[in-house]
A and B are shown apart, each in its own frame.
Chain A
Amino acid sequence: MNDRGDARAWLVVPAILIVGVLFAYPVSWLLARSVTEPVVGPQNFKQLIETPVYLKALWNTILISGSVTLVCVLLGYPLAYTMAHAGERLRRLLIFVVLIPFWSSILVRTFAWMVLLQQKGLINKTLTDYLGLIDQPLTLIYNRTGVLIGMSHVLLPFMVLPLYSVLTRIEPSLTQAAASLGAPPHRNFLRIYLPLSLPGLVAGGVLVFVIGLGYYITPALLGGPGDTMIAQLIEMQIADFGNWGLAGALAVILLLGTTTTFVFVSRSLIGVR
């Protein structure tokens, strides 16, 4: 390490100033609103807890985010596994494909689902007209289904990439050793591979869950009134009611939920090994 690196310590100052003034201060300001507006006191939190509509929205948020996490695990694990075991070229192609949604606008992706899930959208058209499987088009949008599909689509890369990263670090000799010791493929997977992949699953799952908690665009466009999530509540309080106190309280709760999940999971991960 350098002994005279002190001058270079000042290099962090611009970033600190920018983030401090333009982010940390406003966020603290907002969080403070929760207990200072309209008067000092915890009345905003009381209101949240006592109003069923808000409670339902909070519960919805957790439920939806949890369901999306589950879907992403089911869809993402086989994909990550294939990526980890693929040849060089296929692997690079798959990584690229997984990254495309990552780098594209969420709005565009959600809009794409609006096109697909409509009454007369592609999916319904395929099912009714082309395949003749059903008579009436399914309601796939402006309800829970639409939100789940849309959010899973957007959040899947967040599951696949951390999981893939862990899977590639699993020594191939471990499953080979298990086979040489008499483990048939399914027991090999369940007893050796799956436990070793757990850290990646957890990392991906936490990421998906936490990001899902704070999601705004997708539920706003694809969900119905019964699917309102906490981010939409915050927006409503500010744009429609100008109630900064309540908005701040909601922000506090969301932030608490995010941080507790992180801390809780990293604690239990560290505890295991």
Chain B
Amino acid sequence: MTATPEGAAAPERRATRRLAEPDLPHFDIGDLDAPTREALSSLLLTMADDEFVLGFWDSEWTGIAPMLEEDVAFSSLAQDEIGHARLLYEMLAQLRGGNADELAFGRHADEYHHCLLLDHPRTDWAFSVARRWLYDTADAVRLDALRRSAFAPLAQVVEKIRREETYHLMHMDVWMRRLAQGGEPHDRLEKALATLWPDALSMFASVPDEGRLIDEGILASTMSDLAERQYEQLSAVLVNLGLSVPGRRPSWEDGRARAQASDSFRWLWGEFTMVHRLEEGASW
């Protein structure tokens, strides 16, 4: 970076920025009956785990992304995901008791519910671009089904998350278009998509008691409907980009089903819980 004249001039004003309102709106859990609370908790846990695990996978690029600028940008995107996860874990903690840190770091590797798309290791840059693009496009569909949620605090949080995710998607669209142009990047991208394809819709595995969430107006459509929508959009864009993927439509019903954590996730879990496990119960 070339030197900026700004530093030498008047002492920089450090505006203290206070949030106009807390990110997590106050809510009364008494507004929800117990079964609805349970169903909502299941949904929130899958969403929070998805964001959390993606954030940690992508933070693995910090320091080694293709360019310094991309390094900063991609790391910032990863931080955004951790921020979204924090909000969702906090909401979950209010619904079920416990605290967000314990939910995020205090579980065994086998107890996370992230979708299978996030069980793959970081691999190469094309793979991480492909994975994040698949994730962000799917996440946009999921968030869209929650933005008018009858559970107002969720609608508010989703609206804020969506504003950041819109930008994430733009960033990934740029990279998909770039890599799809041809040559080695194109080949690597197709290879990555072929590996990820069976899990492309895994985010839309149904959540327990989903019907109740729909009846209550918390979730706008079934996960199956969302998966169909995502599949159609995905196929159209991939054709547009001149990318071929295995023709079969991926299944999604078992999108979070696993006997135990994958080896790559177990490794990641070891990384992101390392500090937490140093001193159980310490406050940081």
A and B found bound together = no
- Residues on B lying within 8 angstroms of A by beta carbon are none
- Residues on A lying within 8 angstroms of B by beta carbon are none
